């Protein structure tokens, strides 16, 4: 994985989209230039079973067409079964060591919220970490309280070789401050899912990341 892959990390599930078909939103985002995609199918109306796997395969096919890494949230077994490019897990999900073993040489990303969690991730040779929520977010019902950019700055200084993506309430007005704090890129959900002009939104985020630092 290249650090640039984290430049604009789009996260989406069917529950995050209301105005358009989810696959249409993903297609537009891929065409516009997102650099990584994570399927995060959560919530009370989330797809399950065969419908979930079929939707995942459709997302994967589109990502492959645009040569964008396809990441699955939490579900390590599905990621292995589909041959996904990687999996992203949280602190309450499958143990990092087990995920690392199952994913072998594929990408493993982990959400971290403290120095201790950061060190655990490093010890298990994760490929990147996600830090957040940086700002308040409505996209995740189980999100922790916003942490601001302090821990992000600390992690970036302490682990300069570790790729970091920031997540949580990031939009066009605050994305630059997150990049200046040391993130290699930003992960967004509602900023793209709720956009009336996805191409313009993606272009805006990517222009910011090109001039960071």
Structure tokens of 83?
């041959």
Residues in the chain: 213
**CA dist 118 → 18, 54, 211, 212 (Å):** 35, 34, 27, 24
Q: Which two tokens stand for residue 169?
A: 């309430």
Phi/psi region, residue 42 (left: phi>0; alpha: psi -120 to 50; beta: rest), is beta
List the catalytic residues. 40, 111, 140
DSSP state of 173: T
List Cα–Cα distances, 79 to 89, 96, 113, 123, in angstroms: 11, 14, 24, 22
Distance CA 172, CA 50 (A): 37
Neighbours of 135 (CB within 10 A): 19
Q: Is 63 in contact with 99 (CB distance < 8 Å)?
A: no
């Amino acid at each position: 994985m290249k650090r640039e892959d984290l430049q604009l990390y789009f996260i989406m599930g069917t529950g995050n989209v209301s105005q358009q078909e989810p696959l249409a939103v993903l297609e537009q985002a891929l065409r516009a230039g997102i650099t990584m995609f994570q399927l995060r199918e959560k919530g009370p109306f989330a797809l399950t079973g065969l419908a979930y796997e079929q939707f995942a395969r459709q997302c994967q096919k589109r990502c492959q067409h645009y040569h964008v890494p396809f990441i699955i949230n939490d579900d390590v077994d599905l990621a292995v079964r589909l041959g996904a490019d990687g999996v992203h897990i949280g602190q309450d999900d499958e143990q990092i060591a087990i995920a690392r073993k199952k994913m072998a040489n594929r990408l493993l990303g982990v959400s971290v919220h403290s120095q201790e969690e950061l060190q655990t991730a490093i010890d298990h040779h994760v490929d990147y970490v996600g830090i957040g929520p940086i700002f308040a977010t409505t996209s995740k019902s189980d999100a922790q309280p916003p942490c601001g950019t302090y821990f992000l700055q600390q992690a970036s200084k302490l682990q300069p070789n570790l790729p970091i993506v920031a997540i949580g309430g990031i939009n066009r007005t605050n994305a630059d401050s997150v990049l200046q704090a040391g993130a290699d890129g930003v992960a967004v959900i509602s900023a793209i899912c709720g956009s009336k002009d996805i191409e313009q939104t993606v272009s805006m985020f990517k222009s910011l990341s090109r001039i960071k630092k």
